[in-house]
Amino acid sequence: MLFTEKYRPKKFNDIKGQLVIVERIKAMVEQKNLNNLLFAGPAGVGKTSLILVAARELYGDNYQENILELNASDERGIDIIRNKVKDFARTKSFSDIPKLCILDEADSLTREAQQALRRTMETFSNTCRFCLLANYSSKIIDPIQSRCTVFRFKPLEKDEIKSIIENISKNEKLKIDQKAIDALIEVGEGDVRKTENILQSCAVMNNNITEELIYGIVSRAKSKDIIEVLNMSINGDFIRARERLLEVMLQQGLSGIDVIKQIHKEIWNLDINDEEKIKLIDKCGEIEFRIVEGSDEFLQLEVLLANFVRK
């Protein structure tokens, strides 16, 4: 079984981070009266887990009969709202608690579908509640936002992700040292689902999880390697910086976009003044645009290093 499913929170106390949001949702469940909800925030921070825990607590053994869970990125047209969602919302539940329609990735709904959903939410408010999960609340139209209680999720803290990693490692009998944990947290970037998937991929290869294994699995350069390349270039050693960058890219199988994103992140750790950092960030944006538009990625990375030398 996937770690993401095996270790999905089953109770409110299992959910890491988001303590204020969890307490407010828990209070609604205890009163048996969920509002229409909009959960907004980055991927893998517990939005889906929280609403599923709330639904299980609210409906108990009748959980399956009282919820409709749709992934809006697969079914995002107006027909799915007019038919499937409307048919579910118009029928009353056997209990006094309104049913719950969960729309995951709701920011993928077309504007026409959102307009239809707005009317459905209004018409069937006595028989059905809606929970919309979105990465970007700005893509949800204002009339829907005004009908929902909006909760904004944030990435989990390092200590919270560390406790999740340690719990999985203990239960799965994995050996993992502090450097490997730090590497997992870094490459996971606050996304617990991504972190758990990387950990599972490593566990398939070896029960002894190391920093090298993690970076090898995700095909990502170590931060110290990127910083080494940047320091060579800003100190004027263009040839060595170019050779080192090529070596890192070939060893890890990195694409130009992967390298640009890591360079952008590591620029802030360089020992140069803020004005120079701003100029380098500006150049990173220009080079990324050129690569996305189809330019030769290694040639563009050489141009970027040349600009670092001439900073």
- Domain segments of the chain as ranges: 3-152, 158-218, 223-309
- CB-hemisphere CA count at 13 Å for 224? 4
Q: Which CATH code fits 3-152?
A: 3.40.50.300
User: What does the DSSP assignment read for 12-26?
Assistant: GGG--S-HHHHHHHH
Residue 197: both structure tokens together: 């998937």
pLDDT digits (tens, 9 = 90+) for 225-250: 888 888 888 888 888 988 888 888 88
The pLDDT value given to residue 145? 92
pLDDT at 310 exceeding the cut of 70: no
Q: For residue 142, name the pLDDT band (cuts at 50, 70, 90).
A: very high
Radius of gyration, CA atoms only, the chain: 24
Is the entire prediction scored with pTM above 0.85?
Answer: no
**Amino acid, res. 75:** E
| 166: enclosing H helix or E strand | helix 158-172
CATH fold for the domain made of 158-218: Helicase, Ruva Protein; domain 3 (1.10.8)
pLDDT digits (tens, 9 = 90+) for 90-120: 888 777 888 999 988 888 888 888 888 888 8
Give the contacts of 286 (CB within 8 A, at least 6 positions apart): none
pLDDT digits (tens, 9 = 90+) for 32-44: 888 899 999 988 8
Q: Over pLDDT 70: what percentage of the chain?
A: 97
Phi-psi region of 67 (alpha: psi -120 to 50; beta: other; left: phi over 0): beta
Backbone angles phi, psi at 151, to 5 degrees: -120, 130
The pLDDT value given to residue 217? 81
pLDDT at 78 exceeding the cut of 80: no
* Architecture of the domain whose range is 223-309: Up-down Bundle (1.20)
pLDDT digits (tens, 9 = 90+) for 117-139: 888 888 888 889 999 999 988 89
pLDDT digits (tens, 9 = 90+) for 242-276: 888 888 888 777 788 888 888 888 888 888 888 88
**Amino acid, res. 206:** N
CB 306 within 8 A of CB 230: no
Q: Summarize the confidence of residues 297-303 as an average pLDDT.
A: 88
Q: Summarize the confidence of residues 192-210 as an average pLDDT.
A: 87
The pLDDT value given to residue 189? 82
pLDDT at 220 exceeding the cut of 80: no
The pLDDT value given to residue 25? 92
The pLDDT value given to residue 306? 87
Pinpoint the alpha helices (H) of 173-273.
178-188, 192-205, 211-218, 223-234, 238-252, 256-267
The pLDDT value given to residue 109? 86
The pLDDT value given to residue 76? 65
Alpha carbon separation from 141 to 108, 119, 145, 161 (Å, rounded)? 12, 12, 7, 33
